[in-house]
Each structure stands twice: as C-alpha cells, then as structure tokens.
Amino acid sequence: MSTNEPLVRFENVQKSYDGEILVVKDFNLDVEHGEFVTMLGPSGSGKTTCLMMLAGFEPATNGNIYLNGKPINNVPPHKRGIGMVFQNYALFPHMTVAENLAFPLEVRNIGKAEREERVNRALDMVRLGDFGNRRPAQLSGGQQQRVAVARSLIFDPELVLMDEPLGALDKNLREQMQYEIKHLHESLGLTVMYVTHDQTEALTMSNRIAVFDDGVVQQCASPSKLYERPDNAFVANFIGENNRLMGTVEAINGENATVKTDSGDIVVATKINVSSVGERTTLSLRPERIFISPEDNKTPNTYSAMVKELIYHGDHIRTRFSVCGDDDFIVKVPNSADNTSLIEGKEVNIGWMSEDCLALDG
C-alpha cells in the first residue's frame, strides 16, 4: 500500500433505491488516515446512505468505494473490518456489558485471555471499569453510548463509522460525549467518519466537514473555512447563524463587490461567487461580526438601525434590529456595561467590515 493512499475513497458513487431518483449523486471523497470527517446535512440529504454504503449495508448503484486502495463494493460487511456506532446503541439486552464488548472478539475467534484483557482495556478507555457485570438496562443513556463506542473499538479497527450516535442524549451529556469521542480519536489515532445533522457537533469534533444537500456535497472543508468562507448561500445558512440581505451587484472592484440591497442601501462586500454587474446576490453576515455605534471611518458599511427586541443570553445580548429592509437582523452583543444604550424602539448606528460581509449566489 502506498503511504499516500487515502484510507477511504469514494469515486463517482451514486445511489438510487428505485432506479430513477438518485439520493446520492456522483459522490467523491478521500478520507486520510487519522482524520475525523463529518458528513453534515438535513434529513434526506444522502449522508447516512453514504455511510451505509461504506459499511456494506447498502450497495452502491454506480461508482466504487475503496478501503486502503482496494475496492470493497463486493466485500461483505463483516469482512471490511470497520467499527460501527449507531444512535440506538444496538447493545444486546440479555448480555452483560463485558459480554457485549467480547462479542465482536468471539466472532473473530480471539482467545479468552486476550478477550478479557481487551474488554478491561476498553472499559477503562471509556471510564466504565466497574460496570462490566451490568446489563444495558441498568445503565444510563450516556453509559450505554460509551459501551457502544467501546465495542466499536474493541477489535482495533482502522476505521470507525458513527451514525448520529449522540442524538438520543440530552444537551449537556451530548456535549460531554462530543469531547470524549474527539479525545479518543486523537489519543488512539483513529480514523472516524461521522454523520450528524447538528452543525455545532460537526464544528466541535471534525477535521473536515462535508456539507450535503439533496445528494450532493456542497462544500468539504475545515470547520473554520466552512464558517468563515462558505462556498455558497446554502452552506452559509446551514453552518452557524447568519443574516441575509438580498440585492444586485452594482460594481466589482478586485475582491470586493458593491451591492445595492432590495431596500436601496449600498453595501460593500467580499465577492465569493458573483462575477458580473447585474447579478442577484445574497449577502451573508455573521451576528457576532457587527459593531454597535462604530467609530467614524472604522467600518465601510454603517447604517441607522432600530432596536426591535433584546433577548438576554447571559454572556451576550441577542439583539434584533430593523436595518436595510430586514426586520429580523440579529446582532450578538457582548454582555457589558457599555451596552446600556440598547433600548427597544431606539435608533442606533450599526456597521460591519466588508471582509465580514460575503456576496454569495442569489
């Protein structure tokens, strides 16, 4: 095997269940050894189908899937050597935790002494060393999910697939498990392919994120690049919170586009995928990148805005403005003594830098 060979390669992969409608359209993706790659998208976008094809539970309609440079389209699931974690845990209720963990090792004919050693190591890895004799029903949801993760790692797979594994947990436990899985990935050098529709989860855990929509990857990049420089309006709206202003390109000057919004305001933005005057565009602005009462000449885009609503969030005040024709323009304002001027019904100036305002496809 070449050291440059990706661990996983999807090559022109398509999937149709009825022979007519493609739920996955020409999917191409390389996953390197040790990467944590998340497939993110709304329900029905094709992300889980791609994971199931890689696991061998669904056949690809067209295209090839490779593992370590070898085609695996016709290799049965149990011979692919891939660990799996599901949302519903899929633990055997009649077995103890230790027996659940030992099961994949028994299937592989690993001896009793080594099985016990691996089970103990796996339980310690997920901080459940004293729980080996319990049944799944005697565990909390978070503990059951830890067992499911440990079972997927017990036979030292090169690749672990996780399909919405934290979806059934409450918010605090889900966040805790995100960090635990991320730390296991880093400490064990695992390669993980993860499916979720939760953008925060994807941003927290991943080296790269493939954003799916309608069977097509819209963009595959690092979390910071997806957030800071989305390729199109779908990605901008799906990743993080986002203000949108619609308008028409009036001029293009190097990296910038001058846009006249539908309300008649002029905005200078960074052009992402607009190229000509007269094009319709969506301006994308993150709520935390907007200044209240900006200093003169500090921002090239400054507008009078009406405070419509103040919502207390502890560390910040979520402020809804009416500006540039948009009555639902959100600004995240740090909670500090400097912001006593924000009063519902009052007009203030707000502004933003041109590099923080992206001119995307209309």
pLDDT digits (tens, 9 = 90+) for 249-286: 999 999 999 999 999 999 999 999 998 999 999 999 99
Q: Residue 214 pLDDT more than 50?
A: yes
State which of 184, 205, 233 marks the end of a domain. Answer: 233
Please work out, in degrees rounded to the nearest 5, the angle formed at the alpha carbon of residue 54 by the alpha carbons of 48 and 55: 90
Q: Residue 328 pLDDT more than 60?
A: yes
Q: Residue 205 pLDDT more than 50?
A: yes
DSSP category for residue 332: E
Same domain, 165 and 251: no
* pLDDT, mean of residues 140-158: 89
Same domain, 186 and 215: yes
The verdict on residue 225 lying in a domain is yes
State which of 233, 265, 287 marks the end of a domain. Answer: 233
Same domain, 219 and 280: no
The number of distinct structural domains making up the chain is 2
Q: Are 55 and 79 in contact (CB under 8 A)?
A: no
Question: Within 13 A of 95's CA, how many CA atoms are on the CB side?
Answer: 14
* pLDDT, mean of residues 216-244: 94
Q: Residue 1 pLDDT more than 60?
A: no
Q: Residue 91 pLDDT more than 80?
A: yes
pLDDT score, position 114: 92
Q: Residue 307 pLDDT more than 50?
A: yes
Residue 310, Cβ neighbours under 10 Å: how many? Answer: 14
Positive or negative, the CA dihedral 88, 92, 96, 100 is: negative
Q: Residue 2 pLDDT more than 60?
A: no
Q: Residue 361 pLDDT more than 90?
A: no
Same domain, 247 and 225: no
pLDDT score, position 325: 94
- What predicted TM-score, i.e. pTM, was given to this entire model? 0.89
